[in-house]
Structure 1
């Protein structure tokens, strides 16, 4: 079987092509000065100079979704304070405790699938990851509304997926798209703020340590988050937690489905390690092929294919002066697909992660770096491994004939889904596996 065709993202491909012609630095103009920095050294340079940038200016397109106080759009000193109060729920030890919830949620989603019938696996796991994220971080009561929250978030995510300049146009003209997004935000806020207020007045009813910490937590100075700040962190964790993770899941399924030899090895490994029970935390480090598949999906299809920093203090890179007011754009996608960084960069090859060579500084950056490195990286990779392993524990799959294309500014995702068909489904002896088995 021929490997699945490599999917390209036009904007990141343009940045990659430009770097091949002119090196790691280039200038541009799109309503303001831009500087394009590409490659491992450029990535390390960006991450080492957080104090020269305004995250708020660079990421303000996310404000309609995440809110103005989100940790994702915060500058110092508020960023460090908010990050410190969000971090505990995403710590490795905490995430290990979520594995059973992740596995159960994946199994429930797969119960709707009938063996040998085609389905959109990206859409199925997108909903499952949203529900799993909400269960893990905020408890069953909040997760019961996962589909409603997803419906409310969708117009906001679609708005944030536009070029930042276009978002401002929609706001100024109060277009139907802007009005739909703001109505959706009002619906979302009624639910989220209602849950915050309930927990603030009835702390004994809390189901989630994460939500409790956000509402009641204090930092070393005794400062906590305001009601508005809690709202923004909750929405950020939900939106970022499932939107980017589900995108990576879609690409992992697509890439692995195009490598039936690697898929067979990954499936055999899962059956050997997991057996006929659920995936547990003890299994994770032994699922080498599954972990390698996720790493390769994040290399070839990093959800944040491009990212930006807005310069507030002058700096110099590779002899080039970068003035305040410049928007720096760096691209994990361009770095990861560079032949100077990875051999055969356009080939989906999980086995590269089973070899001795490890990426050097700045070479593998799917979660960014520096002070703004993604807080949820451990949560995301764990959820991806658990979801993929749960699927492979049921059997193999094959890709349906289709054309898969990339879309999205804030996260590169499969535009029309990824359709697969389960094969060789095996029965399991644990709850939540009846329909497909």
Structure 2
């Protein structure tokens, strides 16, 4: 059986540089070769595939044909014990433990602190009047993640926040371990991050458990054999939770802010829905569930600009898809962003249309996968959706923002989508 069409690019580095620098890399090759093609990135022959059937095939054959994979840079920086890198029964066991921090009861306990931090940032931005928003949103989501996942206040202003910022820049980089390379700098930051995390964990283990953050729940969590997480594992898992609760959420919230500023008609409908809820009362999970139009808007934002563009897997058994052989040992990238642009599933895919997600329409399975799917669907999915919705409700009720002229709003897409010029806005309180 034939291999997928395509080219491996340059010796050794293959197409890695094009992949990292050209946001249209996959789109151009799909136009040339069709829904499946081969290339070489990060030193590995890799098959790119998109569409609901491809997602279904890759995401539902975990441990049969595929196991999770990340580029070498991400593997080194996430750490060997990270849930993201675990497979098989070990992954299932650890996932069950970590899920305790994201159950509905835990989420309900996060709302008050999330609302308080959101309010503080909104007031700060209104005082600033004009700002470059993306770095501010990064600080906001890190403060929320720091408080609710690790129990620290103002995390973005701490040494932990500073090391984390530098660490995250190298996750998807060429893994040259040299002092001046991005990967080398990020590796050094990981070595500074881990003692900070260890101090936080040891303090929590010795003190009274607060129970109001994910770390407290993880320290007391026990598996079916009554065993808890070791200190070394807690460090890697907390680092992963901070990454998952910060990087991708910043991208999603920034995309929401950008798209709503570009679509005043949608903004007006979101505002109209918010007027049904008393502005003076604290938000509850029940209220958030009733915001059905806002839910459609957020779903469409995640379709149009999914924070994670695709999922990597390693082929453990040769298999066949779309009439082509996928050899054992190769990598596969199942593409979320290209699936979300499939015009057969989403007519006029470049158009922002929240009505795609009204309850009367049903989508094909695995055609909408902003959080992945199958055994490895994003563990923090409901945490992310809660934070996005709470932020969106608060900001739309009380504030307005306009995009400032003369800025590049095109998105840098690797490692996660964000506006090239940082999203410069004029921000103010509204008095409707």
TM-score (norm. length: structure 1): 0.87
Which residue matches 2:24? 13
Shift of 1:400: 1.9
Which deviates more from structure 2 when the two are superposed, residues 317-326 or residues 242-251?
317-326
Among 206, 212, 219, which residue is 1:215 paired with? Answer: 219
Q: Distance in 2 between matches of 1:194 and 1:392?
A: 39
Among 53, 67, 77, which residue is 1:54 paired with? Answer: 67
Structure 2: segments with no counterpart, 5+ residues: 1-19
CA-atom RMSD in angstroms: 2.2
Which residue matches 2:188? 183
Structure 1 outlier segments of 4+, above 6 Å? none
1:254 to 2:267 alignment: no
- Structure 1 residues 170-319: aligned runs within 5 Å: 170-171=176-177, 173-175=178-180, 177-202=182-207, 204-208=208-212, 210-319=214-323
Among 382, 385, 391, which residue is 1:378 paired with? Answer: 382
- Structure 1 residues 80-99: aligned runs within 5 Å: 80-99=92-111
Which residue matches 1:410? 415
1:322 to 2:330 alignment: no
Shift of 1:61: 2.7
Which residue matches 2:425? 420
Shift of 1:104: 1.3
Structure with greater helix share of residues: 1
Which residue matches 2:171? 160
Among 143, 147, 167, which residue is 2:153 paired with? Answer: 143
* Cα distance change on mapping 1:76 and 1:378 into 2, 3 Å: same
Q: Distance in 2 between matches of 1:215 and 1:97?
A: 17
Superposed CA offset, 1:131-158 (max 9, x none): 112222232xx23434322211122111
Q: Distance in 2 between matches of 1:81 and 1:373?
A: 15
Which deviates more from structure 2 when the two are superposed, residues 362-371 or residues 23-32?
23-32
Q: Distance in 1 between matches of 2:185 and 2:44?
A: 29
Contact 1:263 1:396 in 2 (8 A): no
Superposed CA offset, 1:290-329 (max 9, x none): 2222111100100111221111211111221111111101
Aligned pairs, number = 409
* Cα distance change on mapping 1:17 and 1:362 into 2, 3 Å: farther
> Which structure has the higher relative contact order (CA within 8 Å, separation 6+)?
1
* Cα distance change on mapping 1:273 and 1:63 into 2, 3 Å: same
Q: Distance in 1 between matches of 2:429 and 2:181?
A: 48
Shift of 1:26: 1.6
* Cα distance change on mapping 1:112 and 1:209 into 2, 3 Å: closer
TM-score (norm. length: structure 2): 0.88
Q: Distance in 1 between matches of 2:280 and 2:132?
A: 25
Contact 2:126 2:428 in 1 (8 A): no
SS of the residue aligned with 2:276?
helix
Q: Distance in 1 between matches of 2:271 and 2:133?
A: 17
Superposed CA offset, 1:339-396 (max 9, x none): 1110111011223223511221111000111111110111101100101111111133
